[in-house]
């Protein structure tokens, strides 16, 4: 065997070894959340080919800063902060290899593979997790403000809907023991007032912290929007604000929403938080989140709680009051807890997770959501693989039927082509998507075409009466320019698609360009080597099986 | 076994019937497409798509009513494969909501399905919720990518061949991309990202096919400069015909397999590619080479036979 052929075979063997090395199953460590809620590292062995979300199922989210609620002073910086927070959260979420990255100047892309509960995933990513502790109002300032608010509403032509129960409308009146004749008093209730008809102190439902009121759940949305009317918002007592509970509460057969008047200045916020864990309260068996504050936060919390012993403290998460405010019994320092009532341990874990990762600087909104169930991806793979096998068998049959022994060499080279392209995908750590598979199919066609070009050229040369060896040499030489030029132009389009495309289009471009490279190597180098070996073994060959 | 050996078809002589055929297809396709409009997927228009699988057959009418109750009107509702699988496309956001906040619409669709089918009696197989802003970005990006790649191909071909070849190749490829778009319009296929990948594949295939013939023209021009240009074109097309038939045939075979047994997801892509292979082969023969001839007739030059002239001063209008 001549030296040049041996070198060529060695190079081919080296490329095969490299491709096999990259495709060899390897151990990958992923963080998973166990049934007990603790995170643990799990090791699995698999072929290091990443499947896209469309093939393995999962969720793709595009997020942007939502400035309709809160205007960001420095959007670029806030996006970076949000990116860090989401990254922390998704790392603890328990998905293998979560992807969180910035796309363009304004967008964050989150990809979570193989998740089973998309609603929960969205909540975790999107939750602002802004935690505040605020003291409730014990001066009853809302009661005094309601009549003025109702009058303001009346002037706007808004009054209680006809048919509202008169007993409910007088609840505040009864409580204050107001004399209905004292209509000239500025604090006197307005007959038929909207707010006075809906808002009643929570004390009638038993217990009740100061500053705690309740409204029928059916009126919740309406009351919330009434408080946003500027004429009414102006009348909210200075230094206080109105917040709602995060969930309705059943009192008897009716469903009520609690409403709180709290000081607008928080005694502490979640930014001072260093740790949070979910637990079950040993007394009530309800879910709680135990948190720990940093040193400075602990000092401030201690001073404030000492000052407010006997007061009630509302815990606000994303502007909604969590549970009913507890009374401050003594000074609280660095450790505290949030009671979640009858919610699940899972929810408590998610809350602890988002609290620990920190609050989002500005709320995010989902501008793009793609979610593929694992079954759809599996179906697509199965059907696609069967079709690809049938198609490949068809190509093999034609190549061998048409080009005989030469065709067999081409088919052998085709298998190497597939090995090289898959190895290349693994080496580049590229993700295989459905459009990516399409790119692979197209490049198989290109690989076959390169062989066809060469073989047709060899046939032409043979037809001119040249010897076998000369025909093979000339065939490869002349087909080269067509192969190179056609492949380079296709690769150029592929590169542009990669540069200017997004996700799926990029996946297509990667496999296409990779496939073109692999097909040029196999057609020009591998098939040529096979021919050289063949000709060397049968130097006296007069006719070529082509 | 060999096909079309020593074929001597007069392809260039039949270019006018081919032009007319193309023109008829283009006009017909354009009329149909303009009248009915292209069917963009929610990825491009913005909107919400939900594919669900239910244990029991689904009453499409009831789902439509349920959606209307939630403020979603004009949603497309289609069964997907069988009557237990349903695809809902709501392109218009719930009235009064911020269209770029995609979650409002998906929540409304989910609420409607919970109401009609009962919560938990169905699985959401796929969701796509895209704001119109993102959709618009995607559209312009795809367009931008194709246009820029055309420019780059022009430059490469001008360097490797000659500018006339580049113009002809891009003309033929543009013809194929437009014809494929019209085919999509006629077949009412939905233009999803996957179908866009199909259009891009057509672009790649068509270029590939054209260049193979151009390569032969380049070679024949070098060998026999004195021959008539039309004869050279015809000879080059005929000489490469066995390759054209074989490569086209194997591609069609593979794509037919994908279209027939590849599943619902792959089928639109395979159909687009099937058409693309046919039109790409046609255009390499009947568009690219004739356009090369027309360009040559219009702007003949010292380098008219396609021999690259490296140092050629640009003509300045004086």
**In this complex, do A390 and B257 lie within 8 Å of one another by their Cβ atoms?**
yes
Strand order from edge to edge, sheet including A335-339: A273-280, A287-293, A335-339
- CATH of range B47-130; options 3.30.70.3400, 3.30.1330.10, 3.30.565.10, 3.40.50.2300: 3.30.70.3400
**In this complex, do B211 and A493 lie within 8 Å of one another by their Cβ atoms?**
no
Which sign, positive or negative, has the C-alpha torsion A501, A504, A507, A509? Answer: negative
* β-sheet bridge partners, residue A50: A431
Cα B33 to Cα B27: distance, rounded to the nearest angstrom? 10
Cβ-proximal residues to B151 (8 Å cutoff; 6+ apart), any chain: none
Tell me which fold the domain A129-359 belongs to: Gyrase A; domain 2 (3.30.1360)
pLDDT per residue as tens, chain A (546 positions): 688 899 999 999 999 999 999 988 887 776 666 555 566 677 777 778 888 887 888 888 888 888 776 777 888 888 888 888 888 888 777 676 788 888 888 899 898 887 777 788 888 888 777 888 899 988 888 888 888 888 888 888 776 654 344 444 444 444 444 444 433 444 555 566 788 888 888 776 666 778 889 888 888 888 888 888 888 888 888 889 999 988 888 877 888 889 999 998 888 888 888 888 888 888 778 888 888 888 888 898 889 888 888 888 888 888 888 878 888 888 888 888 887 766 778 878 888 887 887 778 788 888 888 888 777 777 777 887 888 788 889 989 999 999 999 999 999 998 999 899 999 999 988 888 877 877 787 788 888 899 999 999 999 999 999 999 999 999 999 999 999 998 988 888 888 878 877 666 778 888 889 999 998 889 889 999 999 999 999 888 888 888
Q: Are A63 and A90 in contact (CB under 8 A)?
A: no
**In this complex, do B126 and A372 lie within 8 Å of one another by their Cβ atoms?**
yes
Q: Tell me how close the Cα of B225 comes to any Cα of chain A, in angstroms.
A: 19
| The predicted structure's pLDDT at residue A343 | 72
Nearest CA in chain B to A376: B125
Only one residue has tokens 């199909």, namely B198
B93 SS3 class? coil
Cβ-proximal residues to B144 (8 Å cutoff; 6+ apart), any chain: A500
Helical H segments across A235-281, by residue range? none
Taking the domain A3-23+373-537, which CATH number applies? 1.20.1640.10
**In this complex, do A482 and B215 lie within 8 Å of one another by their Cβ atoms?**
yes
Element containing residue A534 per DSSP (H, E): helix A527-537
Cα B7 to Cα A456: distance, rounded to the nearest angstrom? 14
- Which part of chain B is CATH 1.20.1640.10? 12-40+135-298
**In this complex, do A375 and B125 lie within 8 Å of one another by their Cβ atoms?**
yes
Buried b (16+ CB within 10 A) or exposed e, B237-275: bbbbbbbbebbbbbbbbbbbbbbebbbebbbbbbbbbbb
Nearest CA in chain A to B274: A442
HEC-encoded secondary structure of A378-389: HHHHHHHHHHHH
Which residues on chain A are in Cβ contact (under 8 Å) with B203?
493
Tell which of B137, B197, B213 to mutate to test the A interface (max A CBs under 10 Å). Answer: B197
What rounded mean pLDDT belongs to chain A?
A: 82
Q: What is the DSSP letter of A115?
A: -
C-alpha separations of B144 from A367, A377, A501, B148, B150 in Å: 22, 30, 9, 6, 10
| The predicted structure's pLDDT at residue B213 | 94
- Which part of chain A is CATH 1.20.1640.10? 3-23+373-537
Cα A4 to Cα A10: distance, rounded to the nearest angstrom? 10
* β-sheet bridge partners, residue A339: A288
Cα A541 to Cα A502: distance, rounded to the nearest angstrom? 53
Is CATH 3.30.70.3400 the right assignment for the domain spanning A58-127?
Answer: yes
HEC-encoded secondary structure of A319-367: CEECCCCCECCCCCCCEEEEECCCCCHHHHHHHHHHHHHCCCCCCEEEE
B80 SS3 class? strand
Which tokens belong to B79? 């069964």
pLDDT tens track for A319-378: 888 878 888 888 888 888 887 766 778 878 888 887 887 778 788 888 888 888 777 777
Is CATH 1.20.1640.10 the right assignment for the domain spanning B12-40+135-298?
Answer: yes
Q: Are A384 and A54 in contact (CB under 8 A)?
A: no
* Contact B142/A at CB under 8 A: yes
Pick from A371, A515, A503: nearest CA to A56: A371
Element containing residue A12 per DSSP (H, E): helix A3-23
Rg, C-alpha atoms of chain B: 25
**In this complex, do A445 and B251 lie within 8 Å of one another by their Cβ atoms?**
yes
* Contact B204/A at CB under 8 A: yes
| The predicted structure's pLDDT at residue B252 | 92
pLDDT tens track for A403-426: 999 999 999 998 999 899 999 999
Number of C-alpha atoms within 13 angstroms, CB side, residue B29?
Answer: 20
Q: Are A501 and B141 in contact (CB under 8 A)?
A: yes
Pick from B206, B230, B233: nearest CA to B219: B233
* Ordered DSSP codes for A154-192: HHTT--PPTT--HHHHTHHHHHHT--TT-TTSTTSPPTT
ipTM: 0.84
């Amino acid at each position: 065997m001549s030296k040049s052929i041996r070198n060529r075979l060695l190079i081919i063997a080296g490329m095969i070894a490299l491709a096999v090395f990259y495709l060899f199953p390897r151990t990958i460590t992923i963080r998973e959340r166990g049934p007990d809620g603790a995170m643990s590292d799990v090791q699995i062995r698999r072929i290091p080919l990443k499947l896209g979300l469309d093939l393995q199922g999962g969720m793709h989210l595009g997020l942007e800063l939502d400035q309709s609620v809160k205007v960001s002073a420095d959007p670029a910086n806030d996006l970076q902060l949000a990116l860090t927070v989401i990254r922390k959260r998704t790392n603890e979420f328990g998905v293998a290899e979560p992807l969180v990255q910035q796309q363009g100047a304004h967008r964050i892309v989150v990809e979570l593979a193989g998740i089973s509960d998309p609603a929960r995933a969205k909540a975790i990513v999107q939750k602002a997790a802004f935690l505040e502790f605020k003291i409730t109002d014990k001066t009853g300032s809302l009661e005094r403000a309601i009549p003025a608010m109702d009058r303001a509403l009346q002037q706007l032509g808004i009054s209680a809907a006809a048919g509202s129960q008169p007993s409910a409308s007088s609840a505040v009146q009864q409580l204050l023991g107001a004399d209905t004749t004292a209509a000239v008093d500025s604090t006197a209730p307005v007959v038929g007032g909207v707010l006075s008809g809906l808002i009643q102190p929570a004390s009638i439902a038993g217990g009740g912290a100061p500053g705690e009121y309740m409204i029928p759940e059916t009126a919740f949305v309406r009351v919330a929007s009434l408080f946003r009317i500027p004429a009414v918002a102006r009348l909210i007592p200075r230094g206080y604000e109105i917040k709602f509970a995060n969930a309705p509460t059943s009192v008897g057969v009716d469903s009520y929403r609690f409403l709180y008047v709290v000081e607008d200045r928080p005694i502490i916020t979640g930014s001072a938080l260093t740790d949070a864990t979910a637990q079950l309260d040993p007394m009530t068996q309800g879910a709680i989140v135990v948190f720990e504050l940093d040193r400075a936060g602990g000092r401030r919390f201690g001073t404030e709680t000492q000052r407010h012993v006997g007061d009630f403290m509302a815990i606000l998460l994303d502007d909604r009051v969590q549970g009913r405010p507890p009374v401050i019994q003594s000074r609280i320092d660095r450790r505290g807890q949030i009671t979640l009532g009858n919610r699940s341990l899972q929810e408590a874990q998610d809350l602890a997770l988002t609290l620990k990762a920190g609050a989002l600087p500005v709320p995010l909104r989902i501008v793009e959501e793609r979610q593929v169930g694992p079954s759809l991806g599996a179906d697509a793979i199965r059907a696609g693989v069967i079709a690809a096998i049938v198609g490949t068998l068809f190509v093999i049959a034609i190549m061998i039927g048409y080009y005989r022994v030469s065709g067999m060499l081409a088919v052998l080279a085709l298998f190497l082509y597939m090995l090289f392209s898959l190895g290349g995908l693994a080496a580049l750590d590229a993700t295989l998507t459905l459009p990516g598979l399409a790119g692979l199919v197209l490049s198989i066609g290109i690989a076959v075409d390169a062989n066809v070009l060469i073989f047709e050229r060899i046939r032409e040369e043979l037809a001119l009466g040249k010897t076998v060896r000369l025909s093979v040499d000339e065939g490869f030489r002349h087909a080269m320019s067509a192969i190179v030029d056609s492949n380079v132009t296709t690769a150029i389009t592929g590169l542009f698609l990669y540069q200017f495309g997004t996700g799926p289009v990029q996946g297509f471009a990667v496999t296409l360009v990779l496939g073109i490279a692999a097909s040029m190597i196999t057609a020009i180098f591998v098939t040529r080597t096979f021919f050289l070996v063949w000709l060397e073994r049968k130097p006296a060959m007069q006719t070529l099986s082509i | 076994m060999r096909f079309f050996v020593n074929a001597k078809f007069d392809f260039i002589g039949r270019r006018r019937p081919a032009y007319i055929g193309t023109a008829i297809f283009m006009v017909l396709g354009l009329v149909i497409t303009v009248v009915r409009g292209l069917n963009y997927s929610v990825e491009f228009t913005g909107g919400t798509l939900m594919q669900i699988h239910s244990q029991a057959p689904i009453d499409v009418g009831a789902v439509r009513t349920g959606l209307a109750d939630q403020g979603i009107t004009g949603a497309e509702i289609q069964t997907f494969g069988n009557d237990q699988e349903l695809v809902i496309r709501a392109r218009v956001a719930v009235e009064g909501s911020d269209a770029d906040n995609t979650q409002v619409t998906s929540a409304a669709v989910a609420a409607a399905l919970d109401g009609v089918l009962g919560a938990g009696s169905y699985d959401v197989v796929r969701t796509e919720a895209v704001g119109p802003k993102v959709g618009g970005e995607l559209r312009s990006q795809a367009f931008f990518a194709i246009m820029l790649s055309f420019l780059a191909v022009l430059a490469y071909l001008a360097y490797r061949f000659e500018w006339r070849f580049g113009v002809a190749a891009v003309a033929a490829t543009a013809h194929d991309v437009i014809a494929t778009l019209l085919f999509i319009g006629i077949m009412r296929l939905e233009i999803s990202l996957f179908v866009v990948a199909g259009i891009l594949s057509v672009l790649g295939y068509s270029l590939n096919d054209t260049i193979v013939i151009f390569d032969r023209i380049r070679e024949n021009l070098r060998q026999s400069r004195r021959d008539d240009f039309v004869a050279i074109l015809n000879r080059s097309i005929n000489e490469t015909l066995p390759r054209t038939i074989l490569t086209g045939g194997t591609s069609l075979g593979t794509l037919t397999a994908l279209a027939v047994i590849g599943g619902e997801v792959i089928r639109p892509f395979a159909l687009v590619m099937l058409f693309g292979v046919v039109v790409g082969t046609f255009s390499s023969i009947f568009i690219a080479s004739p356009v090369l001839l027309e360009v040559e007739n219009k702007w003949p030059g010292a380098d008219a036979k396609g021999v690259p002239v490296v140092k050629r001063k640009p003509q300045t209008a004086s």
